[in-house]
Structure 1
Amino acid sequence: MTLFSTLLKQLSIKDFFDMGIVAFMIYQVLKIVKGTRAIQVLLGMVFLAILYFLGINYNLYTVNWILEHFFDYIFIIFIVIFQDQLRAALATVGTGRKMFNFFDRSPVNYDLEEVIKSVTALSKERTGALIVVERKNGLQNYIDTGTVLDAQVHSDLIYSIFQTISPLHDGAIILRAGKILAAGCFLPLSKNIEIDRHFGTRHRAALGISEVSDAIVIIVSEETGKIKLCYNGEFLYCHNENELRVLLKKAWSGKRLDSQTHLTGQGV
């Protein structure tokens, strides 16, 4: 107890503030890697740290030499390994809360019913579709890869874009503030090697854009006609029009989606 009291006397408010910032940063890193393969990499690094500690205590000179050089560049290695996670984290800085209102884009209440109507029609005809709804993280770099439309959101327009005879049916359409900004856009493919092997390019692209942004993605399977929502790196089934409406509104408002609707990897 004396040691603890002595330690408290030597610590100032600045030290507690410093430790609080570090603890918050570690917590955010753990939130980012939770549920991804990155957590396995972190566990591997912890194993190397334990090995390094044992090497020092038991004079394992070769192991110590290798690990000393490894940990000399630990920050560079960390950035290279977790570049995707760091990019996603930096993209969300200032958008998760109201503390940076100047950069915050308020949700626009445009008519999602037009989207739902077109998706339902495409699903019945088993016509593949990929629709990205931009939220707070800007998607301009992906918009630039497609054909600029800057048209009002309308179910007939969305429906016609994804018809196989349309020159823009390949790729995704990106929506922002009640407008279809571009069609035929190329999205980043997910690097998640654990994704179901039955998923094609459309699903991998949907997962990829949701991993690097807070966008909401709607997918219509060309093979089965099933509708899926991709949000925050997860797929969710939409068994009917009403369920799609509920999930869209929840995702748009930033609410936590029901984990019971997550895909099990069956019936793609």
Structure 2
Amino acid sequence: MGYVFEHFRHFVLKYFEIPKLYNTDIVEIIILAIIVYEITMWIQKTRAWSLLKGIIFLLLFIIIASIFQLSTILWIANKTLSVGIIAILIVFQPELRKALEQLGKRRLFTGIFKPDDTTNIINSDVYDEIIKATFEMAKNKTGALIVIEKNIALDEYVNTGITLDAKISSQLLINIFEHNTPLHDGAVIIKNDRIIAATCYLPLSDNMLISKELGTRHRAALGISEVTDSYTIIVSEETGRVSLAKGGNLVACKTGENLKTELMPKVRKKNKKNNKKFKIWKGHRK
């Protein structure tokens, strides 16, 4: 253990020497801090956030390999580093292009001093309205696609539809997906207790293992769940069945209670805890 600590101390002293700070250095630090903050905020709102966490994990792994002098792993890391950077640029080329396009449209200090509102909190009453509308449409076999935003922003998909920014109600959701209405085709996107947009286009899943019986609506729901952490409710127009897409998987929901426990995992955990307490209490009584 002493050897590891000593090696780590030498590593820090070698690569992280603290120089004297001048006024120009402080200005540079502030500018770099702003740039890093802006890049982090942009990454957090895209699917690149998951990639960043993976890169951080790999960097920690390489540092550990350096401490223990694992030469083979360090050699592989050194050879693949340049290739990996090029691969990242190719894979995330659309996101990088969009970020550069938006750079000129943004005010520099807006994102810094504006309160962070990326955390999406949806009340239980709103979920009740969504579930009520879902099973009302299922009863009448009205096809529907309702996307609920979580931590990863869905702005690029919102821009493909028509902006609404309306309060959520079961009547409004049913009316949107009613046959022969202007907004019924496409997906509705929900964020922070509001219907943000309708008629939105979603990416189709490329998974070859998906059943051929599933139509475009289900493939779109799976596609958005594969690239973001959103939840998508699907009502089949052919069968009236209700499903929930999350994490690239489809979950069948036969009742409103099933759908609510899938949408609100915390409620499910509380119910499990309450059941355990009830069993323990019953055991004490016996």
Q: Using structure 1 for the length normalisation, give the TM-score.
A: 0.61
1:184 to 199, 208, 214: 199
Given that 2:158 and 2:200 are in contact with CA atoms closer than 8 Å, whether structure 1 keeps it comes out as: yes
Instruction: Give the superposed CA RMSD.
Output: 4.1
Alignment correspondent of 2:88: 79
TM superposition shift of 1:195: 2.1
1:108 to 116, 119, 122: 122
Alignment correspondent of 1:208: 223
- Go from structure 1 to structure 2 and tell me whether the alpha carbon gap of 1:127 and 1:108 turns closer, same or farther (over 3 Å shift): closer
Alignment correspondent of 2:188: 173
* Distance in structure 1 (CA, Å) of the matches to 2:214 and 2:10: 53
* Distance in structure 1 (CA, Å) of the matches to 2:81 and 2:55: 23
Q: Percent identity?
A: 37
- Bigger Rg, which one: 2
Alignment correspondent of 1:243: 258
Which amino acid in structure 1 is aligned with residue 57 of structure 2? M
The structure whose residues are more often helix, as a share, is 2
1:25 to 42, 57, 62: 57
* Distance in structure 1 (CA, Å) of the matches to 2:141 and 2:90: 39
* Distance in structure 1 (CA, Å) of the matches to 2:129 and 2:250: 22
Alignment correspondent of 1:120: 135
TM superposition shift of 1:145: 1.1
1:134 to 149, 156, 181: 149
Corresponding position: 1:193 with 2:208: yes
TM superposition shift of 1:6: 6.7
TM superposition shift of 1:166: 1.0
* Distance in structure 1 (CA, Å) of the matches to 2:129 and 2:213: 30
Which amino acid in structure 1 is aligned with residue 83 of structure 2? I
- Provide, for residues 189-229 of structure 1, a one-character-per-residue CA deviation record: whole Å limited to 9, x for no partner: 12223222222211111111112222111001111111001
Which amino acid in structure 2 is aligned with residue 129 of structure 1? A
| Equivalent position SS for 1:169 | coil
Alignment correspondent of 2:166: 151
Which amino acid in structure 2 is aligned with residue 181 of structure 1? I
TM superposition shift of 1:108: 3.3
* Distance in structure 1 (CA, Å) of the matches to 2:208 and 2:58: 26
TM superposition shift of 1:12: 3.5
| Equivalent position SS for 1:195 | coil
- Provide, for residues 151-209 of structure 1, a one-character-per-residue CA deviation record: whole Å limited to 9, x for no partner: 11111111111112112111000111221111101111122232222222111111111
Alignment correspondent of 2:26: none
